Structure 1
Amino acid sequence: MAFDADEEILQDFLVEAGEILEKLSEQLVDLEQHPDDSDLLNAIFRGFHTVKGGAGFLQLDALVNCCHSAENVFDILRNHKRKVDSELMDVVLEALDHVNAMFEQVRHHEEPTPAPDELIAALDALAKPAGQAPETSAAVGQREERTADEGSPDEDGGDITDDEFEQLLDALQDEKKSAPAPNAGNKPASDESNGAGDDEISDDEFEALLDQLHGKGQFSGPPETDKAGNDKQGAAVGGGDSNRADDQKTGDDLISDDEFEKLLDDLHGKGGSPTADSARESSASAAGQPEPEPSGTKADKPVEPAGKTEKRAPEGKGGATSTAPAMPARDANAPVAETSVRVDTKRLDDIMNMVGELVLVRNRLQRLGAQSEDEHMHKAVSNLDVVTTDLQSAVMATRMQPIKKVFGRFPRVVRDLARSLKKEISLEMHGEDTDLDKNLVEALSDPLVHLVRNSVDHGIEAPEVREKAGKPRQGTVTLSAEQEGDHILLSIEDDGAGMDPDVLRRKAVEKGIYDQDAADRLTNSECYNLIFAAGFSTKDQISDVSGRGVGMDVVKTKIGQLNGQLNVESELGKGSRIVIKVPLTLAIMPTLMIMLGDQSFALPLVNVVEIFHLDLSKKNIVDGRECIVVRDKVFPLFHIKRWLVKGAAGEPEPENAHVVIVAMGTRRVGFVVDQLVGQEEVVIKPLGRALQGTPGMAGATITGDGRIALIIDVPSLLQNYG
């Protein structure tokens, strides 16, 4: 590989090819469901072709070979010479895996490892039309390879290739062997055949070729009077037409550059090579006269496309002046200015950190402005609040990415897993354009993979079982995303067997998570949440897919780190639904500021359900734990001041207090606090090395009054103290 190539070119290739490969994975799985979709076949063919072209420019031979073989397969498919089936898709998807692996190696500036020879051979075998003779297949393969290597006329701008020109000459010679072509000169047929191997084409042969292609036109030779006039004019100007006339008189068999350019222009329109025109313009300007008109009448000139018409100098004596094209036609071909710029994500993170500091200063000024009676101060602080909020939204928008970057991998995951488990499953996705912070996009990838694999393995039944239960053989897994305020809701739903609460209770007792009495008191909702317990699994047999009770524990831990919530809903025989609620961004967090004694603490607003004032004399004791009853619901009550404030454990209990109901998944508990300060947006600052890992603390922030407040991590707090 040319790693010493321009780094900018390499980065452009990585960006473009990376997007194409992401789409290919989803397109290939979609193709298996819609094998007759011509647009999809063409899109996949173009995807492999584009990646191959970029890899070829960078001399990535291993990547080129694999993409070329896959491209040949889809060329056969889109020409309806072979049908799409599961075995073919297995081979193509394996090829895509190797292409992705090589792409990652290139990203890390490593030499790509070639795909196995067996895989290339399998692709080449699939690139032959079904039921066609081997020699014909070989010829088709050679033609495809030559077309892919040289590029199609559309891709090369319409220029004729050397091979195509040679084929034209061969066709001319074959025609002359069978019957003399008109205006072919006085040469006998034997002379024609003897000269067939000559690489040079004579003027007579060239004229005959044009006559066969287009009929008698401007190249068929002008009348004698016109020729004489042109000779005089050409002698004075030194133009290309006089040279051609001299060549005809002397009997020279060589074709001039001007004539060859005219042939290409006539066949394909104006090409990209300006050599002949520039030569004529320079000779005309040197003689001090305008460019002469080519031989033949003006009416014989081929009409050029409007977009390719050039402004010409005035014609010779007595000639009319060609009109210049309108300005918009020329501007249409002008390059479009770039509207995007590549920015390092670290720079975006730095900008976001600075906006966070600005939010803290804004909060401080708002607190000071509230204490001031100066009207101008109030207006200035209000304006600063508006500008800061807009700036914060704009910077957050630059960090946003569609959830589709996560969802895009799941069609392949579901397809491969369903084939290995011999199940029939379709995947539906909704809300793929929902945006969320790029850090969340990366962090949610692994938890969602675990949840989707869990739905496919545990949720969807085998086709035969579904038929007996009166369901369609094909199960459905639905992935959806939507924005709700400043949070994102993600749901993974299946129409499978659902979960049996009694089975979950029995497994919890077997695993030692609960004793029998405690397990019997669990509600159905609490039973469903048991699947997130460490080491918990309902599978009796451990497989390479599930059974160790690790995946869902990872999901719960990761979602907790993102300040998110998990909720499980299920109905036996109907299916299950898992809902994840995470904040839009991790950088700035809305919180509820509370006071415990004289210390400030911040509760993430995502966990807060409701707030009320409580007469503590009305509390109850259940299983040795304080509880309160609100609207016929029982909530455990915790005095978190005793956990978090030194010396508070021995203080007398107040008669009245504020209670904040917080939620973790389906669990609801009440926190007793001394004072409610209000809602405030805070920037999470990591704790210092000495305090890092403190149970129940997610970080720290600076409040509007300039003090430091600790941010409470509700799940960790209850796990360690509750």
Structure 2
Amino acid sequence: MDMNQYLSMFIDESNDHLQSLNEKMLELETSPNDLSIVQVIFRSAHTLKGMAATMGYEDLASLTHQMENVLDLVRNEKLAMQDFIFDTLFKSLDALESMVEDITNGGTGKSDVSAIVTSLQAIVRGETLDQSSVELVGSTSNTVQSVQLDEYQYSVLDQSIAEGHRVLYLEVFIREDCQLKAVRAYMAFDLLEGHGEVIKSQPSVQDIEQEKFDRSFSLYYITQKSAEEIERMVLNLSEIDKASVIELDQESLKLMGDVNHSARDIAATVELKETPVIETVTLSTQTSVEPIKTVAKEATKIGNGTPSRTIRVDIERLDVLMNLFSELLIDRVRLEQLASEANNHELTETVEHVSRVSSDLQNIVLKLRMVPVDTVFNRFPRMIRDLAKSLDKKIDLVITGAETELDRTVIDEIGDPLVHLLRNAVDHGIEPISDRLAAGKAETGTVNLRAFHSGNHVFIEIEEDGRGIYRENVLKSAIKKGVVTVEQGAAMTDEEVYQLLFAAGFSTAEVISDVSGRGVGLDVVKSKITALGGNVTIHSIPGKGTNFSVQLPLTLSIISAMLVQLGSEKYAIPLTSIVETGIIKKNQIRTVHGNKMIEFRGSHIPLISLSKLFDITDFDESQEDETEIIVIRKGDRMAALTIEEFIGQNEIVLKSLGKYLPQIKGVSGATILGDGQVALIIDPNAFIK
């Protein structure tokens, strides 16, 4: 059977299951005793295993099988979930995602997952391989981290033993009162490398150099010297508390590499020269091959077991459909105009019926391309969990408005900018626990991620209750990097200063970390959002928190709009931004601090003249006793636009102004009317600050 025809379906279904597994694992972490969640996770993992085995991806199937073994013990109440089990399962999910991504990119999906499989097998056997499981021989108080060997490192050590070299396993402890741990560790490595070769250490050499270890490290070492000589040499170094050196033969090396037993177990094995019975689990799990139709049917049952009533459609087909319908809409408007001019009753009835049918079709076509932002948001809880753990912070991510829909083309592009903004919020925004407590805040920081519609745009806001942005710190760094001069900085508003954060290479971080600090990220965010036709603003209160607000166009090809006349020009205003229309008299206009205002439902709102904004010379509303207005809204703020007259409501096709025209404030695009005229589409959000 040719499985290539099912590859696309396998990739899509696998991604769905992996997303479901990540979400349910996060739920289980907050409620570790809820077995109903474990049942859902187990079913999803079982389905993924069956699909992978059917498609011939054995590494993926075998790793999922090992996860099943752990989950089976948990759901049968034979194993209680602990932090190290969660960490191991999350690492397994990361490995599965990498394999599926490799398959998506045309790869074979193969990966060396032996280390994760070993950890999962150890959990099933009841061993606690949680970074502190390997004990020092003869000691009950000191521990070192286990050293995982990959296939290449194991073969190097095995071949060295076969060629007559000595392979040693060292565990070294530095005194607790040592002030320069990294220096002492370097001296030990320097000494060892003078008499042999270090193959693998735990922690890594880089972590040891940066003092990212407690006070102990372990390593595999090839030399010609005896274990006693090496131990004596290491102990002669100053501030070395203890050292244990074990010489390994091929049998004990296999025991060490395969199941990662404690050093005490290895020592006993070396002393007795016996190899204990080891449970072996074949990596290529034999899974019964289910018919592909059954797998596909089962794969649609995620979480609650309800079959999915959806099908997947190539996005390019939707693009073609949207373009064809856009052209149909222009012709429909033209047809309506011609029918009204012909004054033929039967023709008018037929055109009205076509209009009703095409309106229904239009709604369906528009909804086909709309996707909830939840498809992007749902990957962030896992990311925030991992970030908080790596930074030793407590973070509560609150997501609202995930059901807000956005065009698929924007959804595909907005993920990376949001990742940068969230990482920035967690790393730079939220303070360490000690700083939060000192400032009188709760030890758990809150990051709000929300989305909402406003007019023809979607707003996505990331707000945290962290340290906030201090104007002087941003200016100091910007002046130092030559982004602005001292004089320019003094004349800038707070909003303009905050925008400096988006300058290329700009960073206020004093220390470069794995999360941020290299000046890469926010400039990418700005350029990406601008390329999508949106913008991003920052509002911050020092000591209280920061809000990043991203404004994105819906980028729909078709919108409902109110057509208005200004002199000889016609404009379209999206209906979604309009609160109401009306007429005001000249004596109702007030001037407050030089700005024109009108009273509207118990409050005063700004009055904006479109003719003055767009420099329209053949219409002057100051000569009119009464003026038509359109009240527009952005969030909870409103304003009124003055116009000459209303033309009426219509469905319009949104067309971009193109790359050759400069970005015009207040204009989001253009449309072709039924009579062939071009009307500019007004962006009401640009008028409300």
TM-score, with length taken from structure 1:
0.58
Task: Work out whether 1:84 is the aligned partner of 2:84.
Answer: no
State the shift of 1:99 in Å.
0.9
Report the Cα distance in structure 2 between the residues aligned to 1:654 and 1:432, rounded to whole angstroms.
45
Q: 1:129 aligns with which of 108, 126, 131?
A: 126
Aligned counterparts, 1:18-167, within 5 A: 18-130=15-127, 149=287
**Does the CA contact (< 8 Å) of 2:454 and 2:634 recur in 1?**
no
714 and 496 in structure 1: CA distance in 2 versus 1, 3 angstrom threshold? same
Report the Cα distance in structure 1 between the residues aligned to 2:631 and 2:481, rounded to whole angstroms.
31
Q: Matched residue of 1:94: which SS?
A: helix
Q: Matched residue of 2:99: which SS?
A: helix
Report the Cα distance in structure 1 between the residues aligned to 2:637 and 2:400, rounded to whole angstroms.
28
Higher mean C-alpha displacement, 68-77 vs 78-87: 78-87
State the shift of 1:468 in Å.
1.3
Residue of structure 2 equivalent to 1:264: none
Report the Cα distance in structure 2 between the residues aligned to 1:705 and 1:480, rounded to whole angstroms.
42
Q: 2:381 aligns with which of 396, 408, 411?
A: 411
Question: Structure 2: which amino acid aligns with 1:54?
Answer: M
Report the Cα distance in structure 2 between the residues aligned to 1:505 and 1:541, rounded to whole angstroms.
18
Residue of structure 2 equivalent to 1:361: 331
Residue of structure 1 equivalent to 2:413: 443
Cα offsets for 1:413-454 (capped at 9, x unmatched): 111211222211122223333333222221221222122112
Report the Cα distance in structure 1 between the residues aligned to 2:115 and 2:307, rounded to whole angstroms.
46
371 and 510 in structure 1: CA distance in 2 versus 1, 3 angstrom threshold? farther
State the shift of 1:343 in Å.
2.8
Cα offsets for 1:288-336 (capped at 9, x unmatched): xxxxxxxxxxxxxxxxxxxxxxxxxxxxxxxxxxxxxxxxxxxxxxxx9
**Does the CA contact (< 8 Å) of 2:560 and 2:650 recur in 1?**
yes
- Give structure 2 stretches of 5+ with no counterpart: 130-254, 262-275, 295-305, 598-603
Report the Cα distance in structure 2 between the residues aligned to 1:663 and 1:548, rounded to whole angstroms.
39
Cα offsets for 1:555-600 (capped at 9, x unmatched): 3343344444545443333323333343444322456768899676
Q: Matched residue of 2:525: which SS?
A: helix
Report the Cα distance in structure 1 between the residues aligned to 2:13 and 2:553, rounded to whole angstroms.
30
Cα offsets for 1:641-666 (capped at 9, x unmatched): 68xxxxx9xx9998969999999999
Report the Cα distance in structure 1 between the residues aligned to 2:379 and 2:51, rounded to whole angstroms.
23
Residue of structure 1 equivalent to 2:515: 545
**Does the CA contact (< 8 Å) of 1:450 and 1:551 recur in 2?**
yes
Aligned counterparts, 1:185-584, within 5 A: 340-368=310-338, 379-484=349-454, 487-504=457-474, 519=489, 523-524=493-494, 527-584=497-554
Question: Structure 1: which amino acid aligns with 2:7?
Answer: L
**Does the CA contact (< 8 Å) of 2:610 and 2:643 recur in 1?**
no
Task: Work out whether 1:694 is the aligned partner of 2:661.
Answer: yes
Relative to total residues, which structure has the larger helix share, 1 or 2? 1
State the shift of 1:388 in Å.
2.5
State the shift of 1:82 in Å.
3.8
**Does the CA contact (< 8 Å) of 2:495 and 2:538 recur in 1?**
yes
**Does the CA contact (< 8 Å) of 2:53 and 2:287 recur in 1?**
no
Which structure's relative contact order is higher, taking Cα pairs within 8 Å and 6+ residues apart?
A: 2
Residue of structure 2 equivalent to 1:588: 558
Q: Matched residue of 1:111: which SS?
A: coil
Cα offsets for 1:261-312 (capped at 9, x unmatched): xxxxxxxxxxxxxxxxxxxxxxxxxxxxxxxxxxxxxxxxxxxxxxxxxxxx
Cα offsets for 1:137-170 (capped at 9, x unmatched): 9999789999995799xxx9xxxxxxxxxxxxxx
Report the Cα distance in structure 2 between the residues aligned to 1:526 and 1:667, rounded to whole angstroms.
22
Report the Cα distance in structure 2 between the residues aligned to 1:558 and 1:672, rounded to whole angstroms.
34
State the shift of 1:706 in Å.
0.8
Aligned length: 513
State the shift of 1:511 in Å.
5.7
Relative to total residues, which structure has the larger strand share, 1 or 2? 2
State the shift of 1:667 in Å.
13
Report the Cα distance in structure 2 between the residues aligned to 1:665 and 1:555, rounded to whole angstroms.
23
600 and 8 in structure 1: CA distance in 2 versus 1, 3 angstrom threshold? same
Report the Cα distance in structure 2 between the residues aligned to 1:554 and 1:604, rounded to whole angstroms.
30
Q: Matched residue of 1:127: which SS?
A: helix
State the shift of 1:129 in Å.
2.1
**Does the CA contact (< 8 Å) of 2:608 and 2:641 recur in 1?**
no
Report the Cα distance in structure 1 between the residues aligned to 2:505 and 2:613, rounded to whole angstroms.
30
Question: Structure 2: which amino acid aligns with 1:696?
Answer: Q
Report the Cα distance in structure 2 between the residues aligned to 1:364 and 1:533, rounded to whole angstroms.
47
Which structure has the bigger radius of gyration?
A: 1
State the shift of 1:480 in Å.
2.6
State the shift of 1:359 in Å.
1.9
Question: Structure 2: which amino acid aligns with 1:10?
Answer: L
State the shift of 1:5 in Å.
2.3
Question: Structure 2: which amino acid aligns with 1:56?
Answer: A
629 and 500 in structure 1: CA distance in 2 versus 1, 3 angstrom threshold? farther
**Does the CA contact (< 8 Å) of 1:628 and 1:635 recur in 2?**
no
State the shift of 1:408 in Å.
1.3
**Does the CA contact (< 8 Å) of 2:560 and 2:574 recur in 1?**
yes
Residue of structure 2 equivalent to 1:294: none
Cα offsets for 1:482-508 (capped at 9, x unmatched): 445654343322222233345445556
TM-score, with length taken from structure 2:
0.60
Report the Cα distance in structure 1 between the residues aligned to 2:684 and 2:523, rounded to whole angstroms.
17
Residue of structure 2 equivalent to 1:245: none
Question: Structure 2: which amino acid aligns with 1:694?
Answer: L
State the shift of 1:406 in Å.
0.6
Question: Structure 2: which amino acid aligns with 1:472?
Answer: A
Residue of structure 2 equivalent to 1:207: none
Question: Structure 1: which amino acid aligns with 2:27?
Answer: D
**Does the CA contact (< 8 Å) of 2:578 and 2:630 recur in 1?**
yes
435 and 571 in structure 1: CA distance in 2 versus 1, 3 angstrom threshold? same
Report the Cα distance in structure 1 between the residues aligned to 2:101 and 2:636, rounded to whole angstroms.
41
- Give structure 1 stretches of 5+ with no counterpart: 157-335, 643-647
Residue of structure 2 equivalent to 1:225: none
State the shift of 1:410 in Å.
0.3
Question: Structure 1: which amino acid aligns with 2:93?
Answer: L
Report the Cα distance in structure 1 between the residues aligned to 2:639 and 2:530, rounded to whole angstroms.
17
636 and 668 in structure 1: CA distance in 2 versus 1, 3 angstrom threshold? farther
Instruction: Give the alignment's Cα RMSD to 1 decimal.
Output: 5.0
Report the Cα distance in structure 2 between the residues aligned to 1:536 and 1:420, rounded to whole angstroms.
24
State the shift of 1:481 in Å.
3.0
State the shift of 1:528 in Å.
4.6
Q: Matched residue of 1:705: which SS?
A: coil
**Does the CA contact (< 8 Å) of 2:607 and 2:642 recur in 1?**
no
Report the Cα distance in structure 2 between the residues aligned to 1:550 and 1:482, rounded to whole angstroms.
28
Cα offsets for 1:373-416 (capped at 9, x unmatched): 55666555544443322211111222232222111110121112
State the shift of 1:64 in Å.
1.5
**Does the CA contact (< 8 Å) of 1:696 and 1:714 recur in 2?**
no
**Does the CA contact (< 8 Å) of 1:356 and 1:587 recur in 2?**
yes
Report the Cα distance in structure 2 between the residues aligned to 1:595 and 1:513, rounded to whole angstroms.
44
75 and 552 in structure 1: CA distance in 2 versus 1, 3 angstrom threshold? same
Q: Matched residue of 2:125: which SS?
A: coil
**Does the CA contact (< 8 Å) of 1:565 and 1:664 recur in 2?**
no
State the shift of 1:61 in Å.
1.2
Q: Matched residue of 1:427: which SS?
A: strand
628 and 521 in structure 1: CA distance in 2 versus 1, 3 angstrom threshold? farther
